[in-house]
Structure 1
Amino acid sequence: MAKVAWWWVAGVVVAQCPNACSNKGQCDKYGRCNCLSGYTGGDCSVRTCPFDYAWTDYATADDTAHAKAECSNRGLCDRTTGECECMSGYQGKACERTSCDTSCYNKGKCLAMRSFALSHYSDYSEQFSYETPWDARKVYGCACDEPYTSYNCGKRRCPSGDDPLTTGQVNEVQILKCMATGGSFALIFDGKISGTIRAGFREAGVKAALEATESIAEVSVSFTAADNGTVCQSDSTNLVKIEFTQNFGSLAPLKPSADALAGTVEVFADGTTEVGDEMGTKHVSIKGTKEDDQCSNRGVCDAFTATCTCTTTNNDVYSSSDGYGNPGTRGDCGYPETSVTTCPGEVACSSNGVCDDDETYRCSCAKGWYGADCSLRQCPVGLSWFSYPSAENAGHDDLVECSNGGACDTSTGFCTCGAQFFGMACQYLACPTGSAVTACGGNGRCASMYELSRLATANGDETDVTYGIDVNNPLTWDAHRVFGCACDDGWTGYDCSLRTCPTGDDPGTYGQANELQLIQCAADSGYFKLAFRRDETSAILSNATAADVEAALEALSTITNLEVAFGSGESACLASSTSTPNIISVQFITEHGDLPAITADVADLYDSATGTTGVVTIATDGTTLDSDYTSVAGTTEEVECSNRGICDTSTGICDCFDGYSSSDGRGNKGAQGDCGYRELCNADWCLTATS
């Protein structure tokens, strides 16, 4: 073990720091190492690892959590290298971010929620920031290239289209109005931006710019201006009607981007607002009512090849259409090659749904099933781990298959979750080493952020802190979804795999005081109970002796050793009418630092002088009782291995530096296991060091 240098100065033995602080720190006047950044331990021989915002921790105030932690509480620190060994599914120097499964198969970009918000748009072509939430730079996901999809871009979208057997439906028609003297603008649809539209463009130019949009297949453009004019007018009104001829269903409105326009541009797409043209004629946009079904609801999608296998059962044959029930190249199964007589499936709807035999021959699938023939199993849905924000700094609120944290097996209806997630819908961030049942190595329990907040303590005392009580608070979206380990006593680490070591006062420091608390009990019958750090004594009789009170307190799991003394008499409690009250002094020996106050339960105490319940008064932190007695706030340290040894986290035993061994909590030799006893300089190593 590390040597401690000693020498004689004017007959006094002066201790220097262990192992000369390993050349990684400075020695102070107490013989204590102040380590350089990146190093820790009593001799600065232990490496620290990078810190970042914790994935899970105990809340310190209402809705306040995710403080910085070593390896972000999702990895173990290698104390020899200072590098984090991250839990599967996490990466970064501090395990501070989730990894993207299979690196998105190189079919998309792995982005943080913040970056995703900045570089993409919502389905309605809105853009929101995601800066404030704790996970803005931590939760990563795949922003897939078209036509790739799934949480890891491992699948592809198949062509979609109108169901050829439904009738009486219409295309979406949106109306644009531009009043400007010049410049240009663009239109955003489904998050994709069009080509530049100049104020002087005519119908063909607008059509070409729109069809240059990645998300628009084909449009028809017409102007209401009598002379066919230009898209933008300055002294009259030209309405531009845009019919989506190959994008079906009720569509999101086109969103103008008009910073370069000398004027204004509006889009009307709600199907109700009337807009007047230059002749005073009122025009109303039209909401699309056609289906936009995968494979036109007449085939099954192969998500790995992005091709539709069109149904051919019962001699009802479908193939690729033009979007209008005729043969074409959409690849969508929207063309019925034969007369249709029943619903898809060898048995109609695969016996997993009801056939609508009203000439649409469309399956209404039972719960848990989907597809043209109801042959595919649905997977559970959950709130998304990675999706576009729904508002400023609000996310993770879309209900999606497998929570965007796993892939759906349509043959079984089960989600295969990514490494970070668990639950039927992959809806929970997993604890280390297993499910909620087997997690935390058997040395703790898996708890949600909300549950962890209810277990939070302050200096060993319970708190009333909560996290995520308001389910509508977007900043605590994780309260019931993100899980971490609450380790049993004696264990620590993000996965509860490390043993804790005894703590104690540093024997090299001086001028400090142990905690002294004072108790006064005004009663003459019954009993009371005392509590310290969430543990309560058995009943203490009003006439208990000092030894009785001391024994009751030392029986607590939170106290090892203390001393109790009475200021007056032999009885713990005295009636309030007594001229000289008894002040009970409680001197803590093995518990160090500024300790929380002892509390009392007086429900079963009685004071005959007042005829009421007895009263117990407790003084701490320098306050007085009966003017002659003053409490003392503890100033001793409570540090691992008393700062004079290194903790072996595999055993929970302190490996003390030469010259130090286990103390009794107050600097004498004892059984605390804390390296808090400084031995006399009579060992061979000491004599050698000073010769």
Structure 2
Amino acid sequence: MRNFAAISLTLLVGYSKAACPNSCSGHGTCGVDEVCTCYPGWGTNGNAGGDCSDRFCPFELAWVDNPNRDGGVHRYAECANKGICDRETAECDCFPGYEGKSCGRQSCPNDCSGHGTCEYMKDLEFGIVYNEYYDGSTNALSGLGAGGKTFDHEYFWDRDRARACICDAGWQGLSCNMRMCPYGNDVMDVIPGFDENSLLGMPGYGNEVAQVQTVTLYDAELDNLNFNSKSFAIQFTSKLNETYVTQPISWDTTDSVLDGYIETALKKLPNKVIDDVDVSVDSSVNANGVVIDVTFTGAAVQGKQHKLEILQDACEEGCTPRITGLTNIRTFSDTTLSTVEISTIGSHNSFECGRRGKCDYDSGLCKCFSGFTGDTCSILTALV
């Protein structure tokens, strides 16, 4: 009887000392079943319960994970499955190429080498200039905007997470670590009897055709006299992605005066980026609009160039160039939309180092092949 009492006392003492592990580390409550209910953000080795001694890290949509039974992926995961959680600090130690408190966004390689900006995919643009979106199928795909064209990536899960480098002018490469070399015409690549529609012919000399860009401007009231006394500017982007904007161009109802203003403004761009150009203005072809033909005749602009961009919005005090803008210009009509088009495809092409040399991506200078010289290797020195 005495032994039974001793055993019962021992069990009772043991029961009285039983408790939740580690007293839930002060980060949870102990239940009657001696199981910890942890406070939010606490657990053990990334799991709920235990002794509540470890912290959870931020969760984000996983970059990659196994599908669930329905095939679903990109569920929320700690550190987005691209980092290791520090259980003491609740901070993610992200793998190379990922960053943010939950490793939820990509980093750009080498921080774009100091020659570009790291942009989200939703902000990446199609084309160097706005009008490269135009493919000739319908006027609705064109317009007079400036810059590349962005799109609505509403349903892309990584639209505001995946990032890439957008390089500064004169730089290229995934990390913007390579210089761009000058572009020029291949001196051996001129097509005689050039047919801009069929592109037939053999390399040789003669019958060159310059590229012509046609700008058609319509007033919203289809009365081009409303452009009188207004001012606008033209933006030109070189093949090295350098952007130049002309001085203000005052509108004149006399075609020969206006084309002189436009031609002078283009030729006065810095660094002789447009060394020669012919401009023709015709307001009689269509009484409702004005047609401006810009022919690239200079040696520096032989070959396909980026489309011109018309700056038609007002740019007033504190803005440059200071223009009134073509405030009533028509830009939202399928039939009478103001556009910029390449109306004549030039017989010249435009290649890095004129296709007659190799680019030194460290210096941005062309190393011409034997028999060629010049900045773009477009000068023939000998037949080899």
For this structure pair, what is the TM-score category when the shorter chain's length is used for normalisation? 0.5 to 0.7
The corresponding residue for 1:596 is 307
Q: What is the aligned-residue identity percentage? A: 27
Alignment of 1:94-109 (within 5 A): none
Instruction: Find 1:466's aligned residue among 151, 154, 157.
Output: 151
1:675 & 1:430 partners in 2: Cα distance? Answer: 38
Give the residue type in structure 2 aligned to 1:499.
Answer: R
Offset at residue 648 of structure 1 (A): 0.2
Q: Aligned partners of 1:513, 1:451: CA distance in 2, in Å?
A: 37
Aligned partners of 2:311 and 2:325 also within 8 Å: no
Say if 1:363 and 1:644 are closer, same or farther in 2 by CA, change over 3 A. same
- Report deviation, 1:658: 2.8
Aligned partners of 1:494 and 1:504: how far apart in 2? 24
Amino acid at match of 1:539: P
1:427 to 90, 98, 104: 104
Aligned partner of 1:452 in structure 2 is 124
Q: Is the 8 A contact 1:547 1:564 kept in 2?
A: no
Q: Which residue of the partner structure matches residue 526 of structure 1?
A: 230
Instruction: Determine if the alignment matches structure 1 residue 442 to structure 2 residue 129.
Output: no
Query: Of 231, 251, 262, which aligns to 1:542?
Result: 251
Counterpart residue type for residue 443 of structure 1: H
- 1:646 positional shift: 0.7
One-letter identity of the residue aligned with 1:402: C
| CA displacement 1:629-670 (0-9 Å, x = unmatched) | xxx2223211100011110011111111233222xxxxxxxx
What is the aligned partner in structure 1 of residue 209 from structure 2?
513
User: Do the aligned partners of residues 467 and 548 (structure 1) sit closer, same or farther apart at CA in structure 2, a change above 3 Å counting?
Assistant: same
Are the aligned partners of 1:453 and 1:467 in contact in 2 as well (CA < 8 Å)?
no
The root-mean-square deviation of aligned C-alpha atoms, in Å, is 4.1
User: Would you say the 8 A contact 2:82–2:94 is kept in 1?
Assistant: yes
Bigger Cα Rg: 1
**2:25 alignment partner, SS class:** helix
For 1:675, the aligned partner's letter is C
The answer to whether 1:643 aligns with 2:337 is no
Is contact 2:279–2:295 with CA below 8 Å preserved after alignment?
A: no
Pair 427,526 (structure 1): closer, same or farther in 2 beyond 3 Å: closer
Give the 5 Å matches for 1:304-323: none
C-alpha change, 1:383 and 1:596, in structure 2 (3 Å) is same
For 1:373, which of 42, 48, 51 is the aligned residue? 51
- Alpha-carbon offset, residue 506 of structure 1: 0.6
Larger relative contact order, structure 1 or 2 (CA cutoff 8 Å, min sep 6): 2
8 A contact 1:599–1:618 mirrored in 2: no
Deviation digits for residues 577-610 of structure 1 (CA, Å, limit 9, x no counterpart): 999x99754222333226535546287579xxxx
1:615-634 → structure 2 map (5 Å cutoff):
620-622=341-343, 632-634=344-346
Given candidates 586, 589, 593, the residue that maps to 2:294 is 586
Match of 1:528, as an amino acid? F
Counterpart in 1 of 2:94?
Answer: 417
Match of 1:91 in 2: none
Q: Deviations over 1:519-566 (max 9, x none)?
A: 577444222333445865442112466553234334668981154546
Take 1:418 and 1:400, find their aligned partners in 2: how far apart are those partners?
A: 15
Structure 1 residue 405 displacement after superposition: 1.9
> Following superposition of structure 1 onto structure 2, how do residues 181-220 of structure 1 map, counting pairs within 5 Å?
none
Instruction: Determine the structure 2 residue equivalent to 1:677.
Output: 379
Alpha-carbon distance change, 359 to 566 in structure 1, aligned in 2, over 3 angstroms: closer
Structure 1 pair 510/484, CA: closer, same or farther in 2 (3 Å)?
same
- Counterparts in 2 of 1:616 and 1:430: CA distance versus 1, 3 Å: closer
Structure 1 pair 582/418, CA: closer, same or farther in 2 (3 Å)? closer
Which residue does 1:488 correspond to in 2?
A: 168
Q: 1:507 to 1:548 in 2, by over 3 A?
A: same
Assess, with a 3 A threshold, how the Cα gap between structure 1 residues 516 and 431 changes in structure 2: closer, same or farther. same
Aligned pairs (5 A) from 1:550-561: 550-554=263-267, 560-561=273-274
TM-score (norm 1): 0.38
Higher strand share: 1
Task: Indicate whether 1:403 and 2:80 are aligned.
Answer: yes
Kindly tell me the number of residue pairs found equivalent between the two proteins. Answer: 302
How far apart, in 1, do the equivalents of 2:285 and 2:176 lie? 54
Q: Report the counterpart of residue 142 of structure 2 in structure 1.
A: none
Q: Give, as a single letter, the amino acid of the residue that structure 1 aligns with 2:346.
A: G
Deviation string, structure 1 residues 262-288 (Cα, Å, up to 9, x no partner): xxxxxxxxxxxxxxxxxxxxxxxxxxx
Q: Tell me the distance in 2 between the aligned counterparts of 1:407 and 1:578.
A: 67
- Deviation per CA, 1:496-520: give whole Å up to 9, x if none: 1111111111110113422123457
8 Å Cα contact 2:282/2:292 also seen in 1: no
**Taking structure 1 as reference, are residues 373 and 455 closer, same or farther at Cα in structure 2, changes over 3 Å only?**
farther
CA-to-partner distance for each residue in 1:600-623, whole Å, 9 max, x for gaps? 6287579xxxxx87999767444x
Distance 1:602 1:477, change over 3 A: closer
Out of 174, 179, 189, the position equivalent to 1:499 is 179
Measure, in 2, the Cα distance between the counterparts of 1:408 and 1:678: 63
Distance 1:391 1:598, change over 3 A: farther
> Aligned pair in 2 of structure 1 residues 619, 410: CA closer, same or farther (>3 Å)?
closer
State the distance in 1 between where 2:63 and 2:181 align: 38
Q: Give the secondary-structure state (helix, strand or coil) at the position aligned to 1:525.
A: coil
1:647 partner SS? strand
Change in Cα spacing, 1:416 to 1:455, as seen in structure 2 (3 Å) is farther
Aligned CA distance change for structure 1 residues 505 and 455 (closer, same or farther; 3 Å): closer
Q: Distance in 2 between matches of 1:413 and 1:530?
A: 53
Q: Secondary structure at the residue paired with 2:52?
A: coil
Post-superposition shift, 1:390?
A: 3.5
TM-superposition CA deviations, 1:465-488 (whole Å, max 9, x none): 426312xxxxx4332332222221
